[in-house]
Homo-oligomer: A and B are copies of this chain.
Amino acid sequence: MNLREFGGERALIRRLARLPKSKNIIAGIGDDCAVVERTGSPLQLYTVDMLVEGDHFSRVYFTPYDIGIKAMESNVSDIAASGGRAVYGLVSLALPDDITVEFLDEFYRGMRDVADHYGCEIVGGDTTHAGHMVISITLIGEVSRAHLKLRSMAEPGDLIVVSGRLGGAAAGLRLFQNGIAGYAEVKRFHTAPHCRMDQLDCILPLAKAMEDVSDGLASEVRNICEASGVGARLDKNSIPLCEGIVETAALLGDDPYEYALYGGEDFELVYTMSPAKRVHAYGTIVGEIIAGSGVFLDGRKLERFGYDHFAERG
């Protein structure tokens, strides 16, 4: 059923407003603002991410449920990268005419399954019309001062650690783009990524600077280096690759390490930690923070970094 037949924007808001609410949420979806009574830690985290159909997801490759999963996981990942917990979410959507109520129900089910898993409550949003689907999710999180992880907290001598395997999301996208059948497990890295919020308790006692891998390892390490006023060296062979992507790369004539370094959307965490705690490292050590500036891969200075939504166009 299309949204006009369903009763339009108001019917949609009414459906969303019917969800159960926590008792500290005084007003949720359906008033001018969401109103919440604050509790917990004194530091608030705010993050927003916009996903555009065609650039970040496709209604051809993704089920509506998976679009919801990816939209919410990628946002929760930013809260995890700051060392915090996601508490509230606001979802604003631009929807094209051919979106159905069934599509939206599945999309919301995906978002809500992820939000519920992480203890995050969707308290508000906005819906409007556009030529293609645009999703903007704002998350409000909380973090204690002791757990706060900023990009600027790295120091020379720190180890650089990734929480898991990389490159799967880019490999999956390449399979879709080349119209290749099969390889369902590699494609899932692209359509249904999961962030590392659940591993945070293991990482927080170790991590100094931290980022999530949304734009590729090279770009995230550069961000840490620039914010901390340091450099980094990465060992290419130590970068852990997602299962199956060596085969995918061979099939497509690609280098699988390019997926890991420049592909992004893997949503693993990359963090720096003191070498004194090396034996406790959670994940895989891929390099080291050095004095100076620049990111070096096997001794060669990187000039190219992750995906840029404007630089790689035109």
Contacts and interface: CB of A to CB of B under 8 A. Distances in A.
Given A81-B32, A314-B2, A50 B126 contact: yes
A3 interface: yes
Given A36-B44, A48-B90, A151-B31, A128 B56 contact: yes
Contacts of A127: 50, 309
A155 B43 CA distance: 39
Interface stretch (A6-14, A158-166, A230-238): A6-14
B128 A52 contact: yes
Contacts of A33: 45-47, 78-79, 81-82, 84, 141
Interface stretch (A109-117, A131-139, A185-193, A244-252): A131-139
A97 interface: yes
Nearest to A308: B8
A50 B227 contact: no
The interface centre, meaning the residue of A30, A91, A143 with most chain B CB atoms within 10 A of its CB, is: A30
A313 interface: yes
A124 B139 CA distance: 12
Per assembly, the copies of the chain total 2
A52 B138 contact: no
A82 B138 contact: no
B309 A128 contact: yes
A92 B128 contact: no
Contacts of A78: 32-33
B9 A309 contact: yes
A52 B129 contact: yes
A54 B138 CA distance: 24
Interface of A: 2-4, 7-10, 12, 26-27, 30-38, 42-52, 54-56, 78-79, 81-82, 84, 88, 90-95, 97, 123-132, 134, 136, 138, 140-141, 143, 148, 150-152, 211-212, 227, 308-314
6 contacts: A30-B151, A35-B148, A37-B42, A46-B138, A55-B129, A126-B136
